[in-house]
Structure 1
């Protein structure tokens, strides 16, 4: 959730598989409903260096449908009197529900590749993704989970708060230590604003979707 800008002039063997028979990505012990993360988002631009403290909590996850949702709290936003909280929904790149190509939110395939390629863990996958979006990749045992997070609305402030949620995050989650890195994409915001988060709790309080179709 960067400042609104007014418009002006780790290697692992990867194998192919049949996407029609693919099972959902295995759950990570560090990625689940109620899990919390804390870190920073770098929102620096050419004029100044700036980073916001950020807290994220996962509120729900449905691996079968490649879906998760949660809240994001920015704590030291200069133009806001209180922390700014947003609700976001996410897409898990699993080759079945979602591929590495976004296909919306003003992101072209070139934008996708520019952002995914900033994650070192994406390097072994890049050739196959450039070929077919990664639909033939077997990501079930890959040590990283790739996602997109799209903020949907402000929870505790109005849309006149000076921030924008027009863009979305390219996200990479490490299954080994629960760390998250991400890059914000919005054509009208500073490019490649980096999100860096670490897991902060082992307890869980949230909900999961596992036995019914999302409406």
Structure 2
């Protein structure tokens, strides 16, 4: 991690990342912390629908395939907070997450380890995050798109997310006090053959 990543006292800036533009797609899997059997994971597709770095805002859809008990994909719409130390910091302050929950989940990411000490002494808000190679976010699913709310699935929790802004490799950990802890989300950006990453402009209606 570069030395500039932990500079304090400079003005925070919005976090820009071309891989978060509307239309960018990711694919991967979600699984429980400890796999017990093959059914403990399912395929996930994510599409970014809107990205407003000046507001620390992002949103998109998440499509889960092969979810147990469902013979068709389950799609949700989510909204996200970009941790930029302007609009949002590492402390969640909502969705039933305590500071202990925050530290426990952020610490799962190796990119956060250099920030752990300043988090513990409550100085993380002073750190300039825009020079970092990684983007930290929270994704909160808001509603089901194609199944009723009483379908037996829960979206009460949210994801702690860390994305490498160079490669697009993304990891997330789901937090919900009433769900299995440390369900892991692993995503890679989709790209067009010979054309790099996909970045068409598309807004969720």
TM-score relative to the length of structure 2: 0.89
Aligned: 1:32 with 2:27: no
Aligned: 1:43 with 2:32: yes
Aligned: 1:172 with 2:162: yes
* 1:5-51, Cα deviation, whole Å (9 max, x unpaired): xxxxxx33210134xx42212x2232211100000000367875510
How far off its partner does 1:80 sit?
Answer: 1.3
Closer/same/farther in 2, CA of residues 131 and 86 from structure 1, 3 Å limit: same
Q: Which contiguous aligned blocks of 4+ residues in structure 1 show a shift greater than 6 angstroms?
A: 44-47
* 1:106-152, Cα deviation, whole Å (9 max, x unpaired): 10000000000010000011111222262100011100000000000
Closer/same/farther in 2, CA of residues 133 and 205 from structure 1, 3 Å limit: farther
Matches within 5 A, 1:1-215: 11-13=1-3, 14-18=6-10, 21-25=11-15, 27-43=16-32, 48=37, 50-132=40-122, 134-201=124-191, 202-206=197-201
Aligned length: 195
Q: Distance in 2 between matches of 1:157 and 1:189?
A: 20
Q: Distance in 2 between matches of 1:48 and 1:186?
A: 22
Q: Distance in 2 between matches of 1:207 and 1:46?
A: 36
Contact 2:190 2:198 in 1 (8 A): no
How far off its partner does 1:57 sit?
Answer: 0.5
List alignment gaps of at least 5 residues for structure 1.
1-10, 209-215
Q: Distance in 1 between matches of 2:33 and 2:181?
A: 9
Contact 2:161 2:173 in 1 (8 A): yes
CA RMSD of aligned residues (A): 1.7
Closer/same/farther in 2, CA of residues 120 and 47 from structure 1, 3 Å limit: closer
Counterpart of 1:212? none
Q: Which structure dedicates a bigger proportion of its chain to helix?
A: 2
List alignment gaps of at least 5 residues for structure 2.
192-196
Q: Distance in 2 between matches of 1:198 and 1:91?
A: 20
Which sits farther off after the overlay, 136-145 or 155-164?
Answer: 155-164
Contact 1:12 1:124 in 2 (8 A): no
TM-score relative to the length of structure 1: 0.85
